[in-house]
């Protein structure tokens, strides 16, 4: 058996203890043991302490000729604000495949942001007896990838404002002389990154002294319109007071005051680039192509125009390698990237999935998770991530809970931090059946991509047999390949064995090719409307601003990019309160923006916050360090 060395038997306790207590009760194996199980040698990874390692991209080159394993994506029904356990299901399924069914398996997860960890949500390592360990390292700094993104993002932000400042105080000649200073022999030269700008401007000269005054002006003066700057600063902490700030107030900035703001680090386009890149050279191109604003002539201004693409790649050179960790039962996990699931595409990285598929090989399994409900996460996984990766999933899981289905059937509001209403704690089959319309639409939408859909019913202690059977029957009636009741939170991999068997059958019986929701050559509006139709909308309404942006991006040659809808995760529609499976509504597009480096256009449906705020009682009240043992306590 491939994983016999690392399978760890869990001693399950009931009732289920706190996540951090379970995580701390298990001594993780040295990460080199997990690596060895995947046939990785010390040349293939860099150790980050005892329990984490960066798997190097060179593994992909070495295994280029070998065949891939099965590829499984985990999505969900439209969730309550409490979340329905997608990460827990992803981990539990992998523990079942590896520790109970003797399959080679790798779990691919996003890296959590420290914002939610210290804010309202808590960590994202799974839960109960289906977790990634060490949980504290997973949820905090990990291997520093998010810090690298923060540094790169803010270097670019500083470069934008500095360039505007210098251009405002210098003539073309002075600017050019400083950009291309003579060396000791009095000779000038362009740096490598400058040739990218020259090529964009159609200037083929290689000697700075040969440029005409007009060419000097075009080359040296980016002439960024301050009103058009879309690039904001970031930090990986929830801080509502930084959503809107004023910069340039120092006396040396000569009155160059500008309103801007901070986003949370995981909302940075650099995070989306990391998740969608396929190689180091591809990442270099994507980082350089990121558009930060528009010149007064109407041309997009990129990171490479600012001379920064190479420096950004240097800051990101270690972050491109996925981090190897382990589950409670000793199965391997690759943690990599964590793009915002509203603004960006909410999936872990392409490179982690590609490496994992080669490592498990034919008959092995790679299980990856897509953010939020399937209308957001799975849709973006298929239409954006699979397009750039060229990978085809065989099975898509839809995680459902009785709690969420009751909410969709008309149950009272579920609010994080408040006790659940009695309706969610006692049997009500009618409420469950009424809510199954939400699950049914997720099943039919996901099936349309050509994959087999397995519904994982994540069982809570208050769920009754009649309720669980109602969900099972509704899922099969809606066209699911199978629907399985899971107890992995309480029992670890053992509680997801039936799910693992169903997933294996679904993968072995896939009969259709991958189908996308829209062709890339369609216009921006056609693509938006195809997605809106999958939500149940009867039409789309564009604001004046959205119309203007669509026209501009089309003119600039960006209309062939995929669409990444920025929409509430709490409803198929734009209205978070519209539960179930609303239809016949008009989807309003408030604005349209672009992440050109990452490679998508993102329409804003309603208002999206890219910087969360802290609640009155944040999670940090419970987080502390046991100074006697050095162990973190209180993480949830």
Structure confidence at residue 3 (pLDDT): 41
Q: How far apart are the first and last CA of the chain?
A: 34
Residue extent(s) of CATH 3.30.1510.10 domains in the chain: 146-310
Structure confidence at residue 123 (pLDDT): 62
Selection from 479, 399, 348 nearest residue 77 by Cα: 399
Confidence of residue 2 (pLDDT cuts 50, 70, 90): very low
At 243-271, the pLDDT tens digits run 999 999 998 887 899 999 999 999 999 99
Asked whether the CA dihedral 222, 224, 230, 236 is positive or negative, the reply is positive
What is the DSSP track for 560-590? TS-B--B--SS-SSS-TT--S---SPEEEE-
Selection from 321, 331, 273 nearest residue 48 by Cα: 321
In this prediction, residues 442-470 reach a mean pLDDT of 97
Selection from 202, 30, 258, 18 nearest residue 125 by Cα: 18
Kindly tell me if the per-residue pLDDT of 4 is higher than 70: no
Selection from 387, 346, 492 nearest residue 11 by Cα: 492
At 539-573, the pLDDT tens digits run 999 999 999 999 999 999 999 999 999 999 999 99
pTM of whole model > 0.85? yes
Structure confidence at residue 121 (pLDDT): 63
In this prediction, residues 569-598 reach a mean pLDDT of 96
139 vs 32, residue with greater confidence: 32
610 vs 542, residue with greater confidence: 542
Average of per-residue pLDDT values in the chain: 94
> How far apart are the C-alpha atoms of 33 and 360, rounded to whole Å?
16
Phi, psi of 508 (to 5 degrees): -75, -20
Kindly tell me the number of DSSP H helices and DSSP E strands found in the chain: 23, 24
> How far apart are the C-alpha atoms of 79 and 571, rounded to whole Å?
8
In this prediction, residues 272-278 reach a mean pLDDT of 97
Show the CA angle centred on residue 392, arms to residues 357 and 126, nearest 5°. Answer: 60
Helices within 509-559 (DSSP H only): 524-535, 544-555
Residue extent(s) of CATH 3.40.50.300 domains in the chain: 19-143+318-509
Range 19-143+318-509 has CATH code 3.20.20.70: no
Selection from 578, 587, 579, 589 nearest residue 537 by Cα: 587
At 497-506, the pLDDT tens digits run 999 999 999 9
Confidence of residue 187 (pLDDT cuts 50, 70, 90): very high
At 84-120, the pLDDT tens digits run 999 999 999 999 999 999 999 999 999 998 887 788 6
Structure confidence at residue 160 (pLDDT): 98
Percent of the chain with pLDDT over 70: 98
CATH number for region 525-604: 3.10.410.10
Kindly tell me if the per-residue pLDDT of 357 is higher than 90: yes
At 396-439, the pLDDT tens digits run 999 999 999 999 999 999 988 789 999 999 999 999 999 999 99
Structure confidence at residue 609 (pLDDT): 82
CATH architecture assignment, domain 146-310: 2-Layer Sandwich (3.30)
User: Are the C-beta atoms of 34 and 125 separated by less than 8 Å?
Assistant: no
> How far apart are the C-alpha atoms of 337 and 272, rounded to whole Å?
8
Structure tokens belonging to residue 406: 């009751």
């Amino acid at each position: 058996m491939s994983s016999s060395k690392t399978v760890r038997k869990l001693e399950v306790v009931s009732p289920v203890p706190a996540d951090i207590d379970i995580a701390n009760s298990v001594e993780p194996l040295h990460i080199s043991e997990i690596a060895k199980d995947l046939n990785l040698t010390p040349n293939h990874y860099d150790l980050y302490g005892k329990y984490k390692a960066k798997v190097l991209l060179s593994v992909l080159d070495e295994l280029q000729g070998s065949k891939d394993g099965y590829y499984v994506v985990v999505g969900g029904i439209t969730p309550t604000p409490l979340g329905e356990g997608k990460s827990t299901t992803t981990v539990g399924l992998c523990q079942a495949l590896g520790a109970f069914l003797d399959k080679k398996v790798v779990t691919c997860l996003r890296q959590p942001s420290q914002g939610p960890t210290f804010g309202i949500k808590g960590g994202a390592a799974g839960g109960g007896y289906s977790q990634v360990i060490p949980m504290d390292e997973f949820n905090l700094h990990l291997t520093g990838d998010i810090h690298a993104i923060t540094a790169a993002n803010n270097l670019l932000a500083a470069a934008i404002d500095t360039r505007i400042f210098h251009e405002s105080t210098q003539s073309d000649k002075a600017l050019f002389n400083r950009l291309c200073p003579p060396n000791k022999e009095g000779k000038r030269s362009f740096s490598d990154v400058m040739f990218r700008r020259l090529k964009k401007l159609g200037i083929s000269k290689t000697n700075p002294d040969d440029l005409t005054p007009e060419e000097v002006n075009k080359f040296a003066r980016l002439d960024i319109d301050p009103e058009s700057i879309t690039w904001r600063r970031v930090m990986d902490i929830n801080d509502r007071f930084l959503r809107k700030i004023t910069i340039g107030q120092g006396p040396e900035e000569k009155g160059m005051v500008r309103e801007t703001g901070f986003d949370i680090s995981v909302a940075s386009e650099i995070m989306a680039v990391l998740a969608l890149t396929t190689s180091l050279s591809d990442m270099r191109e994507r980082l350089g192509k990121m558009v930060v604003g528009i010149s007064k002539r109407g041309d997009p201004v990129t990171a490479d125009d600012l001379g920064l693409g190479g420096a950004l790649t240097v800051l990101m050179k270690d972050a491109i390698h996925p981090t190897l960790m382990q589950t409670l039962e000793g199965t391997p996990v690759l943690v990599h990237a964590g793009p915002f699931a509203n603004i960006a595409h909410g999936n872990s990285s392409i490179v982690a999935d590609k490496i994992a598929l080669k490592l498990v090989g034919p008959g092995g399994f790679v299980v990856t998770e897509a953010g939020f409900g399937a209308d957001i996460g799975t849709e973006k996984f298929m239409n954006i991530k699979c397009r750039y990766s060229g990978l085809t999933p065989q099975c898509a899981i839809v995680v459902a809970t009785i709690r969420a289905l009751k909410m969709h059937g008309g149950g009272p509001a579920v609010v994080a931090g408040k006790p659940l209403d009695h309706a969610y704690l006692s049997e009500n089959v009618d409420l469950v059946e009424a809510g199954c319309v939400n699950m049914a639409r997720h099943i039919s939408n996901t099936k349309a991509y050509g994959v087999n859909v397995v519904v994982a019913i994540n069982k809570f202690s208050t769920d009754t047999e009649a309720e669980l059977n109602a969900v099972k029957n509704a899922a099969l009636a809606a066209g699911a390949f199978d629907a399985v009741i899971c107890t992995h939170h309480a029992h670890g991999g053992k509680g997801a064995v039936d799910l693992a068997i169903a997933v294996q059958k679904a993968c072995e019986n896939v009969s259709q090719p991958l189908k996308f929701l829209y062709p890339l050559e369609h216009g921006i509006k056609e693509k938006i409307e195809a997605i809106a139709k999958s939500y149940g909308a009867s039409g789309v309404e564009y604001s004046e601003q959205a119309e203007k942006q669509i026209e501009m991006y089309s003119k600039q040659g960006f209309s062939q990019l995929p669409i990444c809808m920025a929409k509430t995760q709490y409803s198929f529609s734009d209205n978070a309160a519209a539960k179930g499976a609303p239809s016949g509504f008009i989807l309003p597009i408030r604005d349209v923006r672009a992440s050109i480096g990452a490679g998508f256009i993102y329409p804003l449906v309603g208002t999206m916050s890219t910087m969360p705020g802290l609640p009155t009682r944040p999670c940090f009240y419970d987080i502390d360090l046991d100074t006697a043992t050095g162990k973190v306590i209180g993480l949830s």
